[in-house]
């Protein structure tokens, strides 16, 4: 059998030899033949830092080199990444690979000069590194040149494939790549680089929505045999009356540090200082809070600042400084971050991962854990969980110690090598509006039939039925997004032209207006426009404390100077949807009597307290609990089903809310709730659309404000509810 390495072009083999590699990794060997010798789509699935980039580009570069003589001018490889930072990182990596091969590499995003972009447009060649939004900009502003620019396209490489699946940005990318295929009148092979997912067939469907497709799935078997994992519990004591007192006028206001937050910060400081680690804090506010506390600890002990913040609202310079610092082996640094560093940006060797509160997905835990454990050390993760001190008025969630059980269940599922299948739901009518306007901009007009064929026939909107599509076009006409010419062609209407000509159009998702934060005229980051600050107020940002000295609402600028007081800002954005398997595992954990081995002393105590409450209230066999005027319902299902239950109860006149581990019916009694659910099982709403009619705020997509009530109900219901699975769950409860 031929060694796959021998199939690589000689210049590529020389590059591999130059790296000093004794051999290729299994995923790199497995990728060579299908990428080099076939036109099949390929998905390379493995953890971070497993060599996926090389696995894709070694055979792709070999193919380009082999075809040099017959190669026509034009972009040969289109590499798509979700982050500008990832493009910058991969630019250095791919340029090193192509050194001496006469294959130029061009980055393209908002920070790249117009001159460099024009040079590539005029004479496209080699490898283009780009975001979906920049492809959209190319389509809108240079539509007639798309076929010329990509005439020689050999492969499309989609990095962080898993991050696109199921959301509007992913639908946009599917549409853009399909439109490139149509412009070239041929199918360009795609290579996806993905984290391991619970259902890779869904990833394959995302790669190529066409029914007639062949996608080769290559999974890495490089998972570490040894993992070091711990779940650490901390109890929050209710604040004293003194801490709740109002400050005196002109007094510097500081948000009191809760005892458990301080204890977590102490453990992070003692355990991680002196080495390289990532601390995932789940939110930008938490990043700022812990960065501030840990900075103060370093200053109090008169040691260098070893804890740096990293999140999307910080300036590029601050983020890149943190990334460069942690790469240096001579200067120990810890980065406190959000999911910004979950993806494959190169930050060198990381000793361990700290996770403050559970993420919403086991797949995120797996990605983060995979960033540690290099140079022979096992991957290491410590998860820090906060539970409130129990008092007579404590909620049922607190008494069940929900956070500890969720973290423990997710950790056990991680050890079992389970992770969520991608959630693929929704009509995505908001993104369809964007793509209709984009296609019209690209071609200078389009007929309804042409739009239907491009977007739904083998396109990403194949689930949109023709009557819905016709209604959408009519609605776009009524809202002046479109106008129809006498020959039947559709063009931008007055409003549509304004939208398509604005730079914000290229993103399929909402981007909130923001203030720019300046210190001495230097930009340090951005703050959401809906959270403005008053002059003389205090702020914690970039891990430091500031005083607001000026606010310019017209220029959207806030000037700051160093200060001693401050609170972390409140950012927009929030959590995700928990998968049902996590709550199933939580239920198993409540019913079990053994303790997971990865718990510390305090988290073991939380497990005992939660199980005691669970047993006292007979929740193993009973799925409802009267609590004063409220009724708690225990479905042990994911958030899509539990949100559907809430909507079903509202449909029947019962007010309820999804409280995570419980659905709570408010100011009612058990009999009324049970009767309502039984009747809903027998006579359910006909569709998710019908269920959505009672929902007040349904704008979740960027262009949802242009949808009619009927279309908005269809779109919202398709995203948020699942009547069929919910009825199946309810029937099990009543069986």
Q: What is the CATH number of the domain that holds 357?
A: 3.40.50.300
The answer on 376 and 450 residing in a single domain is no
Residue 598 placed within a domain = no
Average pLDDT over residues 189-207: 88
Note whether 393 and 447 are same-domain residues.
Answer: no
Q: Per the domain annotation, does 420 fall within a domain?
A: no
Q: Quick one: 518 and 474 in the same domain?
A: no
* 483 and 521 belong to one structural domain: no
Residue 393 has pLDDT above 80, yes or no: yes
Q: What predicted TM-score, i.e. pTM, was given to this entire model?
A: 0.90
Q: What is the pLDDT of residue 342?
A: 84
Is 585 a domain residue? no
Sheet of 630-633: strand order equals 624-627, 630-633, 663-665, 656-658
Number of domains comprising the chain: 5
Q: Please indicate, yes or no, if residue 125 is contained in any of the structural domains.
A: yes
Identify whether residues 93 and 119 lie together within a single domain.
yes
Residue 27 counted as domain residue: yes
Where residue 480 sits, what CATH number does that domain have?
Answer: 1.10.10.10
Examine the fold and report which residue of 358, 381, 415 is the final residue of a domain before the chain moves on: 415
603 in any annotated domain: no
Long-range contacts of 508-513 (CB under 8 A, 24+ apart): 508/132, 508/136, 508/168, 508/169, 508/171, 508/172, 508/430, 508/431, 508/434, 508/702, 509/167, 509/168, 509/169, 509/702, 510/701, 510/702, 512/572, 513/556
Judge if 74 and 19 occupy the same domain.
yes
CB-CB contact of 506 with 489 (8 Å): no
Residue 314 DSSP label: B
Per-residue pLDDT band for 530 (boundaries 50, 70, 90) equals low
pLDDT in tens, 119-162: 999 999 999 999 999 999 999 999 999 999 999 999 999 999 99
Residue 327 confidence (pLDDT) above 50: yes
List, edge to edge, every strand of the sheet that includes 41-45.
Answer: 105-108, 125-130, 74-80, 155-158, 190-194, 41-45, 215-219
Task: Report CA dihedral (531, 696, 164, 141) to the nearest 10 degrees.
Answer: -80
Report residue 657 as tokens.
Answer: 């809310």
The answer to whether position 37 is within a domain reads yes
The reply to whether 35 and 119 lie within a common domain is yes
Percent of the chain with pLDDT over 70: 94
Q: What is the pLDDT of residues 227-286, one digit of tens each?
A: 999 999 999 986 554 444 444 444 444 556 688 999 999 999 999 999 999 999 989 999
Asked whether residue 483 falls in the same domain as residue 537, the answer is no
Lowest mean pLDDT of 7-16, 67-76, 450-459, 488-497, name the range: 67-76
Per-residue model confidence (pLDDT) at position 255: 56
Q: Is residue 533 part of a domain?
A: yes
Whether residues 661 and 728 fall in one domain: yes
Do 176 and 36 reside in the same domain of the chain? Answer: yes
Indicate if 285 and 327 belong to the same structural domain: yes
Q: How confident is the model at residue 571 (pLDDT cuts 50, 70, 90)?
A: low
Residue 348 near residue 326, CB atoms below 8 Å? yes
Residues 482 and 528 in one domain: no
What is the extent of the structural domain holding 191? 4-219
Final residue of a structural domain among 527, 543, 562: 562
pLDDT above 70 for 642: yes
Taking residues 28-51, what's their average pLDDT? 90
C-alpha angle 131-132-136 in degrees, rounded to nearest 5: 120
């Amino acid at each position: 059998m031929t060694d796959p390495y021998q199939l690589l072009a000689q210049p590529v083999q020389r590059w591999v030899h130059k790296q000093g590699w004794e051999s290729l990794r299994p995923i790199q060997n497995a990728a060579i033949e299908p990428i080099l010798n076939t036109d099949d789509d390929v998905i390379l699935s493995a953890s971070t830092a497993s060599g996926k980039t090389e696995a894709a580009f070694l055979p792709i570069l070999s193919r380009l080199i082999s075809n040099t003589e017959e190669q026509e001018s034009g972009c040969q490889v289109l590499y798509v990444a979700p982050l500008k930072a990832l493009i910058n990182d991969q630019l250095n990596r791919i340029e090193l690979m192509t050194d001496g091969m006469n294959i130029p590499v061009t980055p393209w995003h908002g920070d790249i000069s117009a001159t460099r972009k024009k040079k590539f447009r005029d004479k496209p060649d080699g490898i283009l590194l780009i975001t979906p939004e920049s492809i959209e900009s190319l389509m809108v502003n240079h539509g007639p040149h798309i076929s010329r620019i990509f005439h020689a396209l050999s492969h499309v490489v989609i990095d962080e494939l898993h991050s696109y699946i199921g959301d509007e940005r992913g639908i946009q990318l599917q549409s853009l790549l399909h439109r490139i295929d149509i412009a070239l009148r041929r199918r360009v092979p795609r290579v996806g680089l993905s984290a391991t997912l619970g259902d890779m067939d869904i990833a394959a469907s995302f790669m190529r929505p066409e029914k007639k497709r062949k996608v080769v799935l290559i999974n890495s078997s490089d998972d570490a045999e040894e993992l070091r994992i711990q779940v650490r519990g901390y109890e929050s004591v209710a604040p004293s009356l003194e801490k709740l007192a109002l400050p005196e006028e002109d007094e510097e206001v500081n948000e009191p540090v809760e005892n458990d937050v301080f204890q977590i910060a102490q453990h992070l400081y003692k355990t991680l200082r002196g080495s390289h680690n990532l601390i995932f804090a789940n939110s930008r506010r938490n990043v700022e809070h812990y960065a501030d506390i840990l900075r103060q600890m370093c200053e109090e002990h008169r040691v260098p600042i070893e804890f740096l913040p990293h999140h999307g609202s910080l300036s590029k310079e601050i983020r890149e400084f943190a990334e460069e610092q942690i790469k240096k082996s001579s200067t120990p640094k810890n980065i406190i971050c959000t999911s910004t560093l979950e993806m494959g940006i190169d930050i060198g060797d990381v000793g361990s991962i700290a996770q403050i509160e559970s993420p919403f997905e086991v797949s995120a835990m797996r990605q983060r854990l995979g960033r540690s454990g290099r140079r022979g050390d096992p991957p290491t993760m410590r998860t820090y969980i906060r539970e409130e001190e129990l008092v007579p008025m404590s909620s049922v969630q607190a008494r069940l110690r929900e956070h500890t059980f969720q973290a423990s269940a997710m950790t056990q599922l991680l050890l079992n090598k389970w992770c969520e299948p991608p959630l693929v739901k929704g009509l995505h009518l908001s993104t369809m509006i964007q793509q209709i306007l984009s296609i019209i901009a690209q071609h200078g007009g389009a007929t309804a039939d042409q739009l239907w064929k491009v977007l739904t026939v083998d396109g990403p909107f194949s689930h949109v039925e023709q009557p819905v599509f016709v209604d959408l076009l009519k609605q776009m006409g009524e809202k002046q997004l479109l106008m129809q010419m006498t020959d039947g062609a559709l063009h931008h209407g007055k409003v549509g032209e304004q939208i398509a000509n604005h730079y914000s159009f290229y993103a399929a998702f909402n981007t909130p207006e923001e203030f720019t934060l300046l210190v001495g005229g230097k930009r340090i980051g951005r703050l959401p426009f809906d959270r403005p600050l008053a002059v003389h107020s205090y702020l914690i940002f970039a891990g430091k404390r500031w005083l607001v000295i000026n606010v310019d609402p017209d220029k959207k600028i806030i000037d700051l100077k160093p200060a001693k007081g401050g609170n972390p800002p409140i950012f927009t954005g929030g959590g995700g949807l928990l998968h049902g398997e996590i709550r199933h595992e939580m239920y198993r954990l409540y019913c079990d009597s053994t303790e997971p081995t990865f718990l510390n002393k305090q988290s073991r105590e939380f497990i005992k307290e939660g199980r005691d409450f669970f047993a006292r209230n007979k929740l193993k066999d009973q799925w409802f609990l009267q609590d004063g005027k409220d009724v708690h319902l225990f479905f042990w299902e994911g958030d899509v089903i539990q949100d559907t239950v809430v909507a079903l109860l509202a449909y029947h006149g019962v007010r309820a809310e999804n409280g995570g581990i419980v659905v709570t019916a408010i100011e009612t009694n058990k009999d009324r709730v049970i009767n309502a659910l039984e009747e809903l099982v027998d006579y359910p709403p006909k569709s998710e659309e019908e269920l959505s009619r009672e929902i007040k705020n349904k704008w979740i997509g960027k262009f949802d404000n242009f949808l009619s009530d009927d279309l908005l109900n269809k779109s919202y219901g398709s995203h948020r509810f699942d009547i069929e699975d919910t009825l199946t769950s309810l029937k099990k409860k009543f069986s």
